[in-house]
Chain A
Amino acid sequence: MIALLNSPTRRTRRLLATILLAAACIVTLLPYVWLLCASLKSNSIFFDSLLLPGGDGPLGLNWSGITIDHYIRLFRDLDFGRSLVLSVFYSSVTSLLATLACAMAGYALARLRFRGKWLITTIVLGAVLIPAPLLLAPGYLLLYKLSLLDTMAAVILPAAAPAFGVYLFRQATISSVPPELIESARIDGAGDLKTFFVIALPLLRPMVGTFLMITFLGVWNNFITPQVVLQDPTKFPVAVSIAQLRGVYYQDYGLQMAGTLAAIFPLLALFAFLQREFIAGLTAGAVKA
């Protein structure tokens, strides 16, 4: 086997794969590098260079064209930090609510017996197929009737009970919470609620982590819902603020790029720490199904 792995053809194939993957990575990274450089360039020379402006200064750069003014304006004058904090708030509250609601419901549908279970399961599985844009108009009308338009609840509540979350937790329960364990807890006299929190939830931890991340990401990156339900700019999450910025400061490319980088950086940093769990959790369902 070792000899096979190190045979010349294998080595050539490995080298070729490495070169092609490295090239793909460079193409993938280029927009990030370009974004970082663009956010540091003054607008007067924005289009003069591809990345940073060249010149006679140290490192062969024109340092007078490089500036952090865009970031200063963004955070001091335009209160962009507020949008970032709001995005953290919307995303964490929604993902906590959704994960708890979906984990409880998914577990109950997978392991408990009660009337109406079949009907609820069927509806949940069907709901996964409904595309979100269908709910835009009636959802707006509902929030209007509930006097919830332009409130934070309008962003959080409609996203707090996603059907596919229940589906994922139902699958996770079936594959990682053995019925015998629940049965023995029951014989020991533990109620269904206690059994869920003490026995099932710890076993569901990988899915809890994955689903928290999926929901957090989904809310952070959602543009259309807050765009439709919010009016007041002081309530905007970053996805809407960035669009606003683009509309108002149309020619101010540096400012737009600084805002975009500030908005995507927290997620990329989070991903850098949790990438293994995230990718494993995301693909597990698809490959097993």
Chain B
Amino acid sequence: MSKRAAAPWILMTPFLAIFGVFFIYPVVRALTLSCEQTFGAGHSEFIGLANFRRLADDPLFWKALRNTTIFTLGSVLVQLPLALLLALLLETPGLRGRRIFRVLLFSPAMVGVAFAAVIFAVVFEKRTGVLNRVLHSMIGLDLDYAWLQDHVMGAMIVAALWMYTGFNMVFFSAALQNVRTDVVEAATIDGAGPWSRFVHVIVPAIRPVAGFVVLLSVIGSFQLFELPYLMLNTTAGPDNRGLTVVMYLYQAGFETGDLGYASAIGWMLTILLVAIAGVQRWLARAEGVHS
């Protein structure tokens, strides 16, 4: 091989070597593994599609999927409108202190989920927890409101609200900066009110970024694990109310020792997320053709 022909491969090799061993091989192995039943790392047995049949009838898996979906819907429906509202406020013309607002609101995205879980575990304690005390004095919420026992997913949504609202706001705010001010001014001169400007000028302009933010939130939310796992002291909580898909995968693979079943759960998650990404792509493309 000449020097010229070899150079691209020299540049590609470090990535390809690590990627091949620690990504491609495990993905392929995940396929074969999902057709095996394993007992720890040492012993396994080929069982065909039995793992997937077992999954279909496994009430715990469905419960995990249901909990995770509730968390995802709650996160997207509460967090993203709030993030957009904050971004609109942040982009108010002539606003002072924009940078400091942006930095402070974004900062919780630096805090890892494991650390946030430890903080919020104490925040959500009933009777003594800071959240119930604040809500009790503000809106008279029952001090014994048992977030971690009875409303696990609600607690997760609140914690995620703190962690990711500012993160999503930053994307909306960057998109809003790209909305051409002359178009907004022209709409104003034509007599469009704030709501009409929002619906007819701003929403169409930020739609591509909004699609991306929704997709990112959905993908991230469906992988919820550390937050409930650590807040509920490495359990799924009473009556498995805090069980999520990835937590179930973790329990199957590393507490029960069935890496095959864990892989089958991993594939269900993968198929679900790829399908969601596909739908988003399709919607975005249909829209592109339309406009």
Contact = CB atoms under 8 A, between A and B. Distances in A.
A282 B170 contact: yes
6 contacts: A24-B105, A97-B18, A135-B30, A264-B115, A279-B106, A286-B212
Interface in B232-251: 233-234, 246, 249-250
A268 B263 CA distance: 36
A247 interface: yes
A223 B266 CA distance: 18
B110 A267 contact: yes
B33 A141 contact: yes
B279 interface: no
Given A34-B130, A136-B249, A129 B277 contact: yes
B174 interface: yes
Interface in B206-234: 208-209, 212-213, 219, 222-223, 225-226, 230, 233-234
Most buried by A among B17, B23, B123: B23
Contact of B23 (A127, A131, A283): A127
Most buried by A among B97, B114, B219: B114
A74 interface: no
A25 B29 CA distance: 46
Contacts of B7: 112, 191-193
Given A28-B104, A257-B119, A289-B212, A161 B23 contact: yes
Interface of B: 3-5, 7-12, 14-19, 21-27, 29-30, 33, 41, 86, 89-90, 92-97, 99, 101-108, 110-115, 118-123, 128, 130, 133-134, 162, 166, 170-171, 173-175, 178, 208-209, 212-213, 219, 222-223, 225-226, 230, 233-234, 246, 249-250, 253-254, 259-260, 262-263, 266-267, 269-270, 273-274, 277
Interface in A63-97: 97
- Binding site secondary structure of chain A: helix
B144 to A, nearest CB: 14
A142 B25 contact: yes
Interface string A135-168: 1111111101000000000000110110100100
Contact of A283 (B86, B103, B113, B171): B171
Interface stretch (A54-62, A98-106, A204-212): A98-106
Nearest to A38: B122
B273 A129 contact: yes
Given A5-B94, A163-B19, A242-B118, 20 more contacts: A22-B101, A28-B104, A28-B162, A29-B104, A50-B133, A101-B18, A127-B19, A131-B266, A134-B267, A134-B270, A136-B250, A136-B262, A137-B249, A191-B3, A193-B7, A222-B112, A223-B114, A239-B112, A253-B122, A259-B118
B18 A137 contact: no
A120 interface: yes
A289 B111 CA distance: 27
A277 to B, nearest CB: 12
B44 to A, nearest CB: 9
Interface of A: 5, 10, 13-14, 17-18, 20-22, 24-25, 27-29, 31, 34-35, 38, 47, 50, 97, 100-102, 104-105, 107-109, 112-114, 117, 120, 123, 127, 129-142, 144, 157-158, 160-161, 163, 166, 191-193, 196, 217, 220-224, 228, 239-240, 242-243, 246-247, 250, 253, 256-257, 259-260, 263-264, 267-268, 271-272, 275-276, 279, 282-284, 286-287, 289
* Closest 7 pairs (CB-CB, A-B): A221-B112, A192-B7, A161-B18, A134-B266, A105-B15, A283-B174, A138-B29
B16 A105 contact: yes
Contacts of B26: 135, 138-139, 142
Nearest to A284: B174
Contact of B97 (A18, A108, A284): A18
Given A161-B15, A220-B112, A133 B246 contact: yes
B103 A275 contact: yes
Given A29-B104, A246-B230, A250-B233, A131 B27 contact: no
Contacts of B4: 191-192
B263 A134 contact: yes
A136 B253 contact: yes
Contact of B19 (A161, A224, A239): A161
Given A18-B97, A275-B106, A138 B30 contact: yes
B41 A144 contact: yes
A24 B86 contact: yes
Given A193-B7, A228-B254, A20 B89 contact: yes
